[in-house]
Amino acid sequence: MSKVQAYLTLIDQVIEEGPYQDNWASLSKVKEPAWYKNAKFGIFIHWGVYAVPAFGSEWYIRNMYQPEHPVYAHHVKTYGSPKEFPYVNFIPMFKAENYEPKEWAKLFKDAGARFVMPVAEHHDGFQMYDSDLSTWNAVQMGPKRDVMGDLKKAVEDQDLVFTASSHRAENVWFCNGAMAFDSGLDSEGYIEPYGYRVKVDGTIANPTPKQDYGDSIPKAHLEDWLARTCELVDKYQPKVVWFDWWIQNIAFKPYLKKFAAYYYNRAVQWGIDVAINYKDDAYAKGTAIFDVERGQLAEINPRFWQTDTAIGKNSWGYTEGNVFKEPENIVCDMLDIVSKNGAMLLNVGPKADGTITDEETAILRAIGEWLKKNGEAFYDSTYWSVFGEGPTAIIEGQKMERQAKGYVKGDIRYTYKAPYVYAHVLKWPKDGKVTLKSFALGSKHFKGIIKDITLLAFDHHVNTIRNEDGLHLSIDDKYDTIYPVTVKIQID
């Protein structure tokens, strides 16, 4: 019996003996972890072999086998043809010689994050952890150390929650373009770490990776995916497992259910509360935590959800010339997300040597400084009667953040922790005058009593007038800031 088949047998046994079975009705009984809902903010880490070429994006392996893509031209010019210099030649160059997990964990702690999520395996098929199911991993190649295991220890030593993501599913088509030319990978079949390179209806499944591949996904890939993901769970006990978008394909459905049942049953054995992240409709509502990539929701969702996004605008992994977001805008997005019952998973892309860029380090520290002063309105909070108010409307959906116009004067977001409502003024006006329309006399959102109003992080007296137009706030002293200002409202 192969190692994969042995794991499949174990999976069936754990499911049979546990409280959760591999069907939606049973899986819908799992509860959203309280720690997760309270944490609000985590760090995502895209780090792998793709950091060596550091060009284009973390999809380097796919694009270097696309003859019409700029990455292909770059690869040929810099390293030679893909046949002469295949992607695996980068692995010995991925040494992680300056990787200090304790420094990473301390930085993430200083940033105000409460959980950390390294990419355990990206689409390129290289595992960043110790595996018994493949030799193509960081322990046996490249860094020759358990980079994920070392990070888990460092993270937990900082009292942060360790989580992990798997992008293994997409490996089955990620290098399909290599079948269209003399690439050295131009035949069908399995080649580690490049995957199966499948065809759909006899045609190279290359231009539309989001299509439903149905029976074209080899059963061996599906079983390998399940075994690898369960091994990841058993070896590292992450409290969240995150999946990328492609697992919604119908062929994956039975395996998604099996994984969830196995993971949730293992969590019961370990006495921990865990969650799965998914996109689109891969998992049934109420069986896992919905995730929006580089996007947000327009309204409050009563089910806890998450945004995953990156500090880098161009790439998730490290690339030369990446453009970075401003920390004040990230904080505004965080508040919008939390006001709607969500959490933010914010990505960094370390260099191949294991260092985090100066730009990302500075941004993380700036976010941390804001959270140190305003954290009581953020952590352990929940949504209020209304998420907020103001002229800026969020365009809902995956990958919609590039269409965002930015927050402006009058944009307010609310969080709640009894007996306080926190009004986050995303863009503090220069005249120091703010109106909270949701607190107007006769408002459907609030009919109680206001006992006290203060600015959370600043020692300024707040003048107040409440009438049918709203709760009008002002301060006598000039205060100039590019960051959100939090107004603490005690209610009764």
CA angle 34, 39, 40 (to 5 degrees): 115
Tell me the pairing of strands 203-204 and 240-243. Answer: unpaired
- Dist. CA 334–CA 312, nearest whole Å: 16
Alpha-carbon radius of gyration of the chain: 24
Residue found by looking up tokens 């290289």 in the block: 126
Q: H or E element: which one contains 263?
A: helix 253-270
Q: Do the domains 388-491 and 3-375 match in fold?
A: no
List pLDDT tens digits, range 352-392: 999 999 999 999 999 999 999 999 999 999 999 999 999 99
Regarding the domain delimited by 388-491, which CATH topology (the fold level of the hierarchy) does it fall under? Immunoglobulin-like (2.60.40)
Label residues 115-139 b or e (16+ Cβ within 10 Å = b). bbbbbbbbbbbbbbbbbebbebbbb
- Dist. CA 432–CA 473, nearest whole Å: 8
In CATH, the number for domain 3-375 is 3.20.20.80
Two tokens at 6? 């042995």
Residues in the chain predicted with pLDDT less than 70, given as ranges, are 200-211
Q: What is the pTM for the complete model shown?
A: 0.97
Q: Which of 297, 357, 296 is nearest to 323 (CA)?
A: 357
Angle between the N-to-C axes of helices 3-17 and 219-236, in degrees from 0 to 180, rounded to the nearest 10: 70
pLDDT of residue 207: 46
Question: How is the chain split into domains, by residue range?
Answer: 3-375, 388-491
pLDDT of residue 136: 98
pLDDT of residue 204: 65
